[in-house]
Chain A
């Protein structure tokens, strides 16, 4: 009983997990806020870098969580220290100014002059994109935070051009001119930096420069990656040298870049709307990241999308993707911005509902959803008569009522959402009967009451059959074929047998002929419990019921028949660890002592030395080695070729396989044949001449 409880619990968890995975993207909600507190608040300003402190503060500020007091004192000290010294790095100065923008540690006329001059020098000496990013970004922050200052950039046009010179043809950017690898993440940084240059010196940058940058942005959008459900994201293609950036931070970087660029200039940026919505869906689809960096990137990029100069994406979300036909639940749809705030008046249309599996049959077409102003929900409460349970793909369209808003807001052309429709399935004519095998006449027949356990008690012998039948119909009266229909027979000795019920839309039936099953039942007579399982994802009243028991009278077990396997007490133990398998390896043969082998290796050389000594004693010479160039070369090649073949053999012994060796050997062999023939025929003709002379 305990074990079954465990199994049910597992199934429940799985079902919840599956339902959760199937739902479409949801806007940022309270779950993000509570997670953000967990991820960011245990920061103690002193032991975190300013970059991390800024990311925490910025995320909390966007989400509207007021935790500044927890962080401010230690972090502010750090900020004042960095802004007061002239030796801090550009990166520290940049993040100190960013934190200062949120915490207001230093403001008004109290301009940190050292930092401004340091940043100005940084712009002048900048070699890499990151130098430009920190120094220009820092100057923009100084201009924003300290009233009355207008830090000059120097030659803004030249700076703009030198940043632009790092761009690549495909819209991506290099980190510096001597590093060849280009990066999408760097492109985002570059757009932000150039936007800073434009805002610091708006009069100096002319339209042609801005126009080239715009075409660069459009090109970058050609390299965007896509998922099948209309989700778009940016990813790094090559990562060399620099730390690798994941898709979240790359996408966030590009979004930050294009929003600050769009904010800095007035002519407007024309970006493909479906891709902007797709980027929003990607960032929302991440869910709640556990990593602080990802969390910041997600929230910061979504905040950029929420408040931008080109167009604000609207996201369609469903509180539940499961509709119950029996409970007459309406289909609810919400449309909001990525942070869940209100949208202008609009119409949501269900353009069609497709049965999954078949492409063409649309059950509902062109239905406009009603609007409930109190909950800001669009809903559909009446479904057509032929709308049955099952799995569907609903295709929604969002139309803005006021065409003036069409510039400011963008929506997906159509949003596809998988919807599961469930209902109570009625089980009709459930019957269980024992039949006489030869004539097929009914011995005893019982109506089943599937609402309670243990109602049936039957008895049968091995010459009889058991028949179970029922019909399933959906709420609108159609025949229904469930995913699962099993009958389980369980003997007193815990031996179980599972039989599949043959299902069809008209009638589900199972006939057990005990004569053919005696072997499978291990000739075990006695009481069997009968358990019936009917289940389907769309069936709200899926059941698992002990419908009673049957007393079976089977013949004696013959000698040869197999015995019933022993059942372990705990059925879950079969998922436990298996017994350890101990492998028996061949014991390695005893090898002789190394010294002895080396001694014999030396001994092997001795006959060879003797051979060489013998050769000198015989007075061997190489006088007949050809002296003229051509034959000498072929003789040398002949000896070299033999050496090469022997070397090939050594390689074959050490690492090559037979096929490689044979291939190389056939080439070498042809060569050897050729030079050998030449060398030896020269020798032969020389000795012939000698003879005839």
Chain B
């Protein structure tokens, strides 16, 4: 029973990996970027848990910078995905321009809040 479960799980991962390997490279880059941002945020949260939240605004701005840019990257991923028919008419360059603009606005606020 146990064995079959682990085997099922392995099969599931295998199928996931093979399905993911078919993903276009540009989407993979975005995924990697999201993972990078989330990990950075996690490290900051761990640091906060260890030493306390004294410059709380600095902590918040650091974490929100990571989370915000990850969210924006996810949005970019939705828009440039060719499978996604909803944004079929939207050029990926336009989506990228939106991503850059939103990031710049986000970070202006972040820096202002950083103290």
Contact = CB atoms under 8 A, between A and B. Distances in A.
Contacts of B9: none
A404 interface: no
Contacts of B37: 607
Main secondary structure on chain A at its contact with chain B? helix
A604 B40 contact: yes
Contact of A649 (B36, B96, B97, B108): B108
Nearest to B47: A600
B40 A614 contact: no
A658 B112 contact: yes
A86 B9 CA distance: 109
Contacts of B43: 600, 603-604, 606-607
A218 B94 CA distance: 78
Interface string B11-34: 000000000000001001100110
B1 interface: no
A587 to B, nearest CB: 12
Nearest to B32: A614
B2 interface: no
Main secondary structure on chain B at its contact with chain A? helix
A684 B97 CA distance: 12
B44 interface: yes
Interface stretch (A18-26, A450-458, A589-597): A589-597
A462 to B, nearest CB: 63
A684 B46 CA distance: 42
Nearest to A646: B107
A652 B112 contact: yes
Interface string B88-115: 0001111011001000100110011010
Contact of B28 (A604, A618, A661): A618
B101 to A, nearest CB: 9
Interface residues of B, number: 31
B104 to A, nearest CB: 6
B109 to A, nearest CB: 10
Interface stretch (A159-167, A516-524, A675-683): A675-683
A539 to B, nearest CB: 66
Range class of the A interface residue count: 35 or more
A649 B25 contact: no
Contact of B25 (A592, A603, A620, A669): A620
Nearest to B40: A607
B39 interface: yes
B54 A591 contact: yes
Interface string A598-612: 001001101110110
A475 to B, nearest CB: 75
B33 A611 contact: yes
A607 B93 contact: no
Nearest to B115: A653
A590 B40 CA distance: 24
Nearest to A654: B111
B40 A642 contact: no
A665 interface: yes
A588 to B, nearest CB: 10
Given A615-B29, A619-B25, A653-B111, A592 B39 contact: no
Contact of A683 (B29, B52, B93): B93
A607 B108 contact: no
Interface string B24-66: 0100110011011101100110110011101000000000000
Given A589-B54, A590-B54, A680-B96, A604 B32 contact: no
Interface of B: 25, 28-29, 32-33, 35-37, 39-40, 43-44, 46-47, 50-52, 54, 91-94, 96-97, 100, 104, 107-108, 111-112, 114
23 contacts: A597-B47, A597-B51, A604-B43, A606-B39, A606-B43, A607-B35, A607-B43, A610-B36, A611-B32, A611-B33, A611-B36, A614-B35, A618-B32, A620-B29, A642-B100, A642-B104, A645-B104, A652-B112, A669-B104, A676-B97, A677-B97, A680-B96, A684-B91
Interface of A: 589-592, 596-597, 600, 603-604, 606-608, 610-611, 614-615, 618-620, 642, 645-646, 649-650, 652-653, 658, 661, 665, 669, 676-677, 680-681, 683-684, 687
Interchain residue pairs A-B with the least CB separation, the first 8: A592-B51, A611-B36, A607-B39, A680-B93, A614-B32, A589-B54, A684-B93, A600-B47
Given A604-B43, A618-B29, A642-B100, 19 more contacts: A589-B54, A590-B52, A591-B54, A592-B51, A603-B47, A604-B40, A606-B39, A607-B35, A607-B43, A608-B40, A611-B32, A614-B32, A658-B112, A676-B97, A676-B100, A681-B93, A683-B93, A684-B93, A687-B93
